[in-house]
Amino acid sequence: MDFTPSEEQSAARGLAARIFGDLSTHERLTAAGTGTDAELWKELCAAGLPAAVEDIGLLGLVLLLEEQGRTTAQVPFAATCVYGLLAVAEHGTPEQCERLLPGLRDGTVVATGAFPARARVHLAEDGALYGAVPWVPWLRDATHVLVADTDLALWIVAASPPGAEARAAGVTVETVETTAPWSAGRLVLDGVRGERLGNGPEAYAAVLATARTAFAGLQAGVCAGSLARAVHHTVTREQFGRPLSTNQGVLLRAADAHMDTEAIRVTAYEAAWRHDERRVCAAQALTAAWWASEAGKRVVHAGQHLHGGTGADLDHPVHRHFLWGRQLDAYLGCGGEVLEELGLLLAASAQGDAS
């Protein structure tokens, strides 16, 4: 097991760090509100970062998403790569790959996913999809949505943003605000005909595992950014003539947050590495998701707490990390749900080995 980034992965991460650091500033994030930073998205696509994911793999994507998380950059990078680029590349037919991948690489096609499946969408006898999903991240920017029906078959559905002059037939997108500013929307399908992707439940499980791994990487970055802000604050802020960082309670809280962040990172790396090596990674993806949920919320709470009264300011940059951390805590399954799923998976595996 070797998590050492390749030359290509390191170069892509360095480029991502520079772009996110230069453009995802507090001022620009404030101006963007809850929407997407369109200029930043164009810059990322012009630099070829979404396209690079095909070459650097899921581990490379996790490295890039760490850099996004550090700055809480408001772009549909994770969603487009997971539910679009990787999903089509791994489960699409040659015709689907030829038709869809070029747009996903250059950013003219923006994808998202109505995940995890909650038995909200069903396939009628006439082959049309019906149902509603209460919220889908980055839906207001998406041109395509990956939807799972009640039988866990995957469908690519064309979408259009709220207020668009030309709406996709049978698809309605309504603006929804979530804890984190993820340009989310409510998806309503009324007789829309989707495009089948992959081989049913197996493809769904694979995409969900990929999503959990990728968003765990995003959470690692969010936590690292929160902790970095807390460290800077406690080192530069003095109380009773000495920096706050010299207090034992502050040191212990920060140390715990650091260890939690590293646990999220290393479990995401392992799951991504196993995916790229074509090894079984279902349990590892669930492990990464559990750490991202349970440890992630501890870290962003600590980051805000270590800012003292400043952390109570809703306009302070650290509060954005708190919002993202709490959104990622529950997205794709909260800690308890993921742990139950992991337990069932391990029990089934042990029973299979015994038989």
Q: What is the DSSP string of 176-205?
A: ---SS----EEEEEEEE--EEESSTHHHHH
Paired tokens of 206: 């694979």
Q: What is the pLDDT of residue 166?
A: 47
User: By the 8 A CB rule, do 299 and 260 touch?
Assistant: yes
pLDDT at 310: 83
- Report the distance separating Cα 327 and Cα 322, nearest Å: 9
pLDDT digits (tens, 9 = 90+) for 104-151: 999 999 999 999 998 899 999 999 999 999 999 999 999 999 999 999
pTM: 0.94
Q: Which residues of the chain have pLDDT under 70?
A: 161-168, 354-355
Q: Which residues contact 293 (CB under 8 A, 6 or more apart)?
A: 328, 329, 330, 333, 334, 335, 338
How far CA 194 is from CA of 28, 124, 171, in Å, comes to: 36, 12, 11
State the Cα–Cα distance between residues 63 and 53, nearest whole angstrom: 10
What pLDDT is attached to residue 162?
Answer: 66
Instruction: Give the model confidence (pLDDT) of 191-218 as tens digits.
Output: 999 999 999 899 999 999 999 999 999 9
How many whole angstroms separate alpha carbon 203 and alpha carbon 12? 28
Q: What sign results for the dihedral spanned by CA atoms 107, 109, 112, 113? A: negative
Cα–Cα nearest to 65, from 283, 277, 222, 292 = 222
Distances, alpha carbon 217 to alpha carbons 87, 221, 272, 314, in Å: 18, 7, 9, 25
Instruction: Give the pLDDT score at 340.
Output: 96
Per-residue pLDDT, 255: 96
Distance CA 341, CA 169 (A): 36
